[in-house]
Each structure stands twice: as structure tokens, then as C-alpha cells.
Amino acid sequence: MRDPWNLLMAGVGAGTAWAVGLPVGAAGLVGAGMLGVVAAVSGTVGTNDSTGDSSGTAGQPLRPGTAQAILVGTLRGYRFDLDALRESRVAPAVVAIAGHAAEAARNAETVANRVARAIDAVDDAVARAGRVAQQMPRSVPVKDSVERMRQRRALLLTKLTVAVDEVGEVYAKLLELSTTAELLGVPTQETSAAAQLGDSLDAIRAAFTELELDASTTRAQL
């Protein structure tokens, strides 16, 4: 009921029912039914947008066009590509590694969403503190607070960029390994490249574990 879009849709449904000749009472029932359907759909969409974030910001959309939102979208694309590679007709060893990589990317995407939301929260805090700094231009402590938050933001964004790039590198190496195995008949389970990919996945997991801790620490400090 608090969502004006839901009320508008219900009103359109009731008006249409009245316009085609239904009695006023029946048109009202149509409108009530429309309101229930629209509210249910809205709730479903909100649930589907959740990324498993337990920080209390699950379902909160990322700000479109920001560097952090673009990184999350890039990571999601890598996950889709890895899933597709896993389901394609490639060497069994490549399929196995692609499966592990897709799972690592899926977990990484959840963490990346949390990190991006933490960066959004820092941006909010910097904006508010910036207004205070304008009102107190000679206050060194206020300026120091703003600078520390900006540095924290820059560090989070840099770490997120590096970690997302590592996922892209794993995907590129998997494509190379798949092509080599298919065209040259190289036994992928015996190549050093396969072992290196396993090490890369371990590094990715460690990087996103550290990022998750950094994001939690950042939000706790705001």
C-alpha cells in the first residue's frame, strides 16, 4: 500500500474493469486483486535481488554507473562465461576446473556486492562529512576524517579491481587451455597450466575473503 506504483497499477485495473461495463463493486474487487498481485510480484523481485548479504543491505541496489557497480557487473559476466564453458564440450579436465572456477566466481560475486555496498556507504559518509568540512573549513580533525575515509574507499576499490581482474585472467587461461587440449591433443590433466589455474583459484578465494573482512571493518567504522 505504501508503494505509489502498486496503487497506480491497481487503479488502472479497476478503471479498466469499470470502463468495460462491470459494476462498481466488481471493479473494486478487480482493483484489490491487482494490488495483491502487484505487491506479490514486487516482493518476489526484491527477494531475487538479494545476494545473500547478511550485513542488512541485501536487496539494496548498487548505484548504477559507479566503478564498484561496473566491477560487480563484470564479475557477473565472468561467472556466466565460466558456467557456459563448464557446460560446453571441452576436455574433462577443463570442465572440472571450469566448475571450480564458476563456483569461486559465484562466491566472489556475493562478496563483491558487499564490498560495493560498503564503498557506497563510504561515499555517503564522505559526502556528509564534506558538508561539515565546508562549514568548518579550519577544522583539521574534520579534514583528516574525510581524508581517511577517502583513502579507505580507494583501497577497497583497488583491491576489488585486482580481484575481479584475477577472475578474468582465470577465464582467459581456461579458454587457452581448452583450445590447446582440443587442437593439439595435450593431456590437460598433466599440464602445468592446470596446476597453475588451481593455484590462481586459491589466490582468488583468499583475495575475496580478505575483501569481505575489509568491507565488514569499513562498515563498522562508519
| pLDDT attached to residue 3 | 46
In angstroms, the CA 37 to CA 13 distance is 11
- Between CA 175 and CA 204 the distance in angstroms is 18
Buried b (16+ CB within 10 A) or exposed e, 11-46: eebbeebbeeeeeeeebeebbeebbeebbeeeeeee
What pLDDT does residue 17 have?
38
Q: Write down the pLDDT at residue 125.
A: 93
- Could you state, in order of their start, the residue ranges of all structural domains in the chain? 4-48, 67-221
Q: Is the dihedral of CA 153, 154, 157, 162 positive or negative?
A: negative
CA-CA distances (angstroms) from residue 24 to 1, 12, 14, 16, 18?
21, 14, 9, 11, 6
Give the relative orientation of helices 140-184 and 192-221 as an angle to the nearest 10 degrees: 160
pLDDT digits (tens, 9 = 90+) for 100-145: 999 999 999 999 999 999 999 999 999 999 899 888 988 898 999 9
pLDDT (0 to 100) of residue 87: 86
CA 123 to CA 68: how far, in whole Å? Answer: 11
Q: Where are the alpha helices (DSSP H) in the chain?
A: 4-19, 24-48, 67-87, 92-135, 140-184, 192-221
Q: Which amino acid appears at position 2 of this protein?
A: R
Tens of pLDDT along the chain (222 residues)?
A: 444 444 444 444 444 434 434 444 444 443 444 444 434 434 433 333 444 444 444 557 888 999 999 999 999 999 999 999 888 877 777 788 888 999 999 999 999 999 999 999 999 999 999 899 888 988 898 999 999 999 999 999 999 999 999 999 999 999 888 877 655 555 545 456 667 888 899 999 999 999 999 999 988 887
Query: By the 8 A CB rule, do 31 and 11 touch?
Result: yes
Helices 67-87 & 92-135 angle (0-180, nearest 10):
170
Confirm whether pTM is higher than 0.85: no
